[in-house]
Amino acid sequence: MSLTRQPHLELLDYTITLASENVRSGKGGPFAALVVVDGKIIAEGVNLVTSTNDPTAHAEMVAIRRACAALGTFQLTGAEMYTSCEPCPMCLGAIFWARPAVVFYAASCQEAAAAGFDDALIYHQIALPGDQRLIPMVQVATPRSNHSFETWQHNQQRVDY
Amino acid sequence: MSLTRQPHLELLDYTITLASENVRSGKGGPFAALVVVDGKIIAEGVNLVTSTNDPTAHAEMVAIRRACAALGTFQLTGAEMYTSCEPCPMCLGAIFWARPAVVFYAASCQEAAAAGFDDALIYHQIALPGDQRLIPMVQVATPRSNHSFETWQHNQQRVDY
């Protein structure tokens, strides 16, 4: 890969500091993330899972949601993300939906696993057929399975995303 | 797999109806999801991406967040989820963090792709090394990469999740 964007090391370092502060504050896990546009921080996010009873409140998710709210858009085209740790599959998916240009991260998911955060399990589970996962995901096809898609495709007012 | 839980077809059908209604309301994409405990709907979610400028507001995410808020917990142990379509990788990750018992879905991600929702691309991207993805995810290891994890492990007041 020819990476045209280079990381700002001071932004990565700041992200790690936010992650450590989040632990000391008791708000959640040891993770933080930034959304950066043209070298300027648009949004910060920290892990808020336990303090907000929201299992989706990972640092990257919080940062993406706040950045989109601040910019008034559901796309982060051209933005850079900094995160203290390699994104888990949920956050990776959110990143692909938000579409920033690049993600720089400090710790690997193996290092996260050593600290007790087993993202690697989910990466492994994704590769399995749905009905063989620890949480089975089972298709129950019905004659109406595609009804909402047909409604979508016939809706001239739809906003694609 | 020996599946001990059987789907309630009327709940799946209701989910599809919610998904179609969501398109007609203009709130977002053709997706809906339920969180069910002991046969009772705890939370409903529909796709709200475009109407709330939140790329993470997929139906499953909205349903999980609402269910956790309603139950005052960050875990959905024992719950069942119904969703109009096979979860995308982001939602799959969220499901593994929320830990319901099972997920029943109607349409497959191939059917979603045919309707213009290319979850399959993200499933493919996940399997690639980070620096070879369409959105590069690049590790920038620093001497402080594990600082927040060390803070976490030394914090006696931490709430594991």
Q: B33-56 pLDDT, tens per residue? A: 999 999 999 999 999 999 999 999
| Strand pairing class (A80-85; A137-139) | unpaired
Give yes or no for a contact between B140 and A14, defined as CB atoms under 8 angstroms apart: no
Give me the residue from A54, A90, A96 closest to B125, CB to CB: A96
A6 vs B contacts (CB less than 8 Å) = none
Contact at CB, B55 and A75, closer than 8 angstroms: yes
The mean pLDDT value of chain B amounts to 95
Spatial distance between the Cα atoms of A80 and A42, rounded to a whole number of angstroms: 10
Active site residues of B: 60
Spatial distance between the Cα atoms of B30 and B114, rounded to a whole number of angstroms: 13
Spatial distance between the Cα atoms of B85 and B29, rounded to a whole number of angstroms: 11
Burial (CB < 10 A; 0-12, 13-18, 19+), residue A55, is buried
Q: Tokens 């089975």 appear where?
A: A136
Residue B3 in this model has a pLDDT that exceeds 80: no
Report the DSSP beta bridge partners of residue B81.
B35, B103
A143 vs B contacts (CB less than 8 Å) = none
Average pLDDT over residues A23-49: 97
pLDDT of residue B17: 98
Reported as a single tens digit per residue, the pLDDT across A89-145 is 999 999 999 999 999 999 999 999 999 998 889 999 999 999 999 999 999 999 999
Nearest residue on chain B to A79, alpha-carbon basis: B135
How many Å is the maximal CA-CA distance in chain B? 55
Percent of chain A exceeding pLDDT 70 equals 98
Report the DSSP beta bridge partners of residue B40.
B37
Contact at CB, B148 and A32, closer than 8 angstroms: yes
B68 vs A contacts (CB less than 8 Å) = 53-55
Contact at CB, B86 and A148, closer than 8 angstroms: no
Residue A1 in this model has a pLDDT that exceeds 50: no
B102 vs A contacts (CB less than 8 Å) = 135-138
Contact at CB, B92 and A96, closer than 8 angstroms: no
pLDDT of residue A120: 86
Q: The whole model's pTM is what?
A: 0.95
Percent of chain B exceeding pLDDT 70 equals 98
Give yes or no for a contact between A96 and A81, defined as CB atoms under 8 angstroms apart: no
Nearest chain A Cα distance for residue B30, angstroms: 5
Spatial distance between the Cα atoms of A43 and A36, rounded to a whole number of angstroms: 7
Give yes or no for a contact between B124 and A127, defined as CB atoms under 8 angstroms apart: no
Q: What does the angle CA A134 – CA A136 – CA A141 come to, to the nearest 5 degrees? A: 165
At B156, is the secondary structure helix, strand, or coil? coil
Nearest alpha carbon to residue A75 among A99, A95, A52: A99
